[in-house]
Structure 1
């Protein structure tokens, strides 16, 4: 009996170490309310930047673009760098209310589009965006000479709760060049795992930030024929909220023209502190500092345990 009690005490201690307690709302309440690095709403900066999925906005020549529908609110947001002509990240939420499947990508074939509705983003100058056709497919990997596909950052399948929301995922500002081996391989596998994590009965809301590296020369693989950035790395940062509190996990994927679709996804896991070092981004900055520090600094092996990844 004593051994059984000690076992349950050990399990409880592990859960406390993995989850950081917090409040229930969308703006990071709960815990110590001190927050020295949160986003601020100023002229030209939308109030959505206070949501938990947002990283620290860069500002300067960059602008936060929010896409939404009247029925569901924010579809996703992105930070567009007008000088680099690229998005730095895309962020959004998945929760019970937007997990419904009311639309399918294949349905676009029977609309006036006749297929996927790739189009320029109406909120970004057209001359800053890649052409809808030919820009990526007419450019090639510097080593293997493979062409690039239009790789979604906010996945089409993550926004099938409405036709309008799904259409917004086909804006060219939500695309980054990816070789087919990545786009249809491990990246797609990670996207599917994210949806599985969001559907977990223990998850209330999954806060997601994804993107490709654009800010350091050594993290740029090449450029397309018209000079658009091809990231050398892609990343995902996830924050889950449930009744126990918060937990976070990061993924870091090199843009290789190799088939890694059968890889163990645990090989790509990093904690958020490490992902911030790699990307230069400050994820989940709207959390109270004490919660942010705990969930982001958790040892990677404990992060994997908390999220069900095993090597």
Structure 2
């Protein structure tokens, strides 16, 4: 038997679609359906469901229905998710993939600026399952596909240069027109700038698709070549090394304090003045709790900012360290939206390189 034992002052969930039914019986293996009314309030609400088996074993399940939001498709409980910021030029999108272990998961999310042709930020979970396997053929030993592409391309391995080919399209909604993306198949053609990954290829070696998605134009920024190949790459390696049993949540992005651009066949690509990265995790690495349920003393966060030039390339990781609050002020975005209100200020004000062995 299953029984709804508590759901607050309003009856919003039931075992019957039309009538308010709080109890139901059934057999093990037979689905029981629970119907929910829309939450139109500004607060989350919870229900308790007690399940009793024939041997009198009882367990209680807790169901949480989140508050009403006009951006419901975006407001997911992922720890890396920044706050939604309305702008007619922005497209918010999440790429999904299936890992070598068979799990269908989010790969990364973006806030893409179609006017600048660059993402404002890319947010992703850092878990070893994403890079610990190499279950596909590539032209090198590490699993890097080098499948530079628009984000609606499906690609596969090819034995000769460029070592991949387009075999179709697979548009993950919302669609971003190819004409609104960077044309990056042959690089920028601008001296001193690399196609800089925000989500690094080396963090996504599990399957061909998982890695190929990191070569989408929407994951690229024009990045100073020395910065990209040296200290930024070193930071990326350290971030993978901070992986723990709990998820490490990462956001990387761009800031535009000038109007510099690179010519491109799909229109000018804005060159970031700054490149930054943010990380958030539980302190002991094994709490098995959602970020929203953690107190400030259970979490640690830090950020890093580099100017996108030779001076940035010469900056050490420790000297680049900043608080999340400082990068919010620089970028004008708000990060880690799922921190509890009680913890947010304390966590976002942290800037303790020693906490990260720096």
Equivalent residue pairs, number:
250
Are 1:131 and 2:183 matched, yes or no?
yes
Q: Larger Cα Rg: Structure 1 or Structure 2? A: 2
- What is the CA RMSD across the aligned residues, in angstroms? 2.7
* Deviation, structure 1 residue 273: 1.2
Q: State the TM-score, normalizing by the size of structure 1.
A: 0.72
* Whole-Å separation in 1 of the counterparts to 2:108 and 2:312: 29
Residue of structure 2 equivalent to 1:228: 269
Alpha-carbon spacing, 1:96–1:133, altered in 2? closer, same or farther (3 Å): closer
Equivalent residue number for residue 284 of structure 1: 336
| Structure with greater helix share of residues | 1
Deviation >6 Å, runs of 4+: none
Residue 160 in structure 1 maps to residue 205 in structure 2: yes
Q: How does 1:1-311 map to 2 (within 5 A)?
A: 41-42=69-70, 46-47=73-74, 49-61=76-88, 62-70=90-98, 71-103=103-135, 107-109=137-139, 116-122=146-152, 123-134=175-186, 136=188, 138-139=189-190, 146-198=191-243, 200=244, 204-214=246-256, 219-220=257-258, 222-226=260-264, 227-241=268-282, 242=285, 243=287, 245-257=298-310, 260=313, 264-298=316-350, 300=351, 303-309=352-358
TM-score (norm 2): 0.63
- Structure 2, unmatched stretches of 5+, are 1-43, 45-65, 153-174, 288-296
Question: Which has the bigger relative contact order, CA under 8 A and spacing at least 6?
Answer: 1
Residue by residue over 1:176-212, the C-alpha shift from the partner in whole angstroms, topping out at 9 and shown as x without a partner, is 11121011011111111111112x5xx5210000011
**Residue-by-residue CA offset, 1:100-127 (whole Å, 9 max, x unaligned):** 23258xx5327xxx96100001231111
Secondary structure of 1:191's partner? helix
Note the C-alpha offset of 1:260: 3.8
Bigger strand share: 2
CA distance in 2, matches of 1:182, 1:40: 42
Query: Partner of 1:50: helix, strand, or coil?
Result: coil
- Change over 3 Å in CA distance of 1:84–1:259 after alignment to 2: closer
Q: Describe the superposition over 1:64-86 as per-residue Cα deviations: whole angstroms up to 9, x where unpaired.
A: 11101143310001011233332
For residues 205 and 59 of structure 1, do their structure 2 counterparts lie closer, same or farther at Cα, with a shift above 3 Å needed?
same
Preserved contact between residue 82 and residue 336 of structure 2 (Cα < 8 Å): yes
Task: Work out the CA distance in 2 between the residues paired with 1:40 and 1:97.
Answer: 33
Query: Could you say what secondary structure the match of 1:194 adopts?
Result: helix
